[in-house]
Amino acid sequence: MKLYPGDFNNLEDWIVSYLYEWPKSPHTTYSLLQTVLEIVDSQPSSDDTVRELIKASGREDMAPAKHIEDEKPTFSNTQKTIEGLIELGTIKGDRNRGADGVYYEALKLTPKGEAQAIRCKREREKLNELLESDEFKQRLVEFQDPPTTGKN
């Protein structure tokens, strides 16, 4: 499993997009971590996904039968990601100190962050259109079942 949920390229894109989609909600380091963990936990593990792809391809599953634990976001890497976005001028918030150290409250996008969120949203839309296109589906079928050359 990726360290970020769904179809996002990284945790930074997810945070920026989430703040864009929920502009009036009170966002903190803790609330963002809780939300991303809920999303990650609701998705199948990478081990399950790989096994499904192998089964769908008709190939034999040669992987060991043990389950591979997926890496999950932590408070520390969520906080570092938020600090990086603040450093880039993409988001802003109120810095506080708690049991886990420094964290942020009242997180909001800056105008630069709004522009980034809109770009990210458009890129995801284009990617989804491509993945749903008949041409992509045909190429995927050809990739999974390449034509034989007739040579033995």
Residue extents of the structural domains in the chain: 11-144
Cβ-contact 5, 40 below 8 angstroms = yes
Between 37 and 58, the more confident residue is 37
Per-residue b or e along 9-24, where b marks 16 or more CB atoms closer than 10 Å to that residue's CB: eebbbbbbbbbbeeee
For residue 20, pLDDT over 50 is answered with yes
Q: Where does 1-152 have alpha helices with state H? A: 11-21, 29-42, 46-57, 75-87, 111-132, 134-144
CATH architecture of the region 11-144? Orthogonal Bundle (1.10)
For residue 60, pLDDT over 50 is answered with yes
For residue 86, pLDDT over 90 is answered with yes
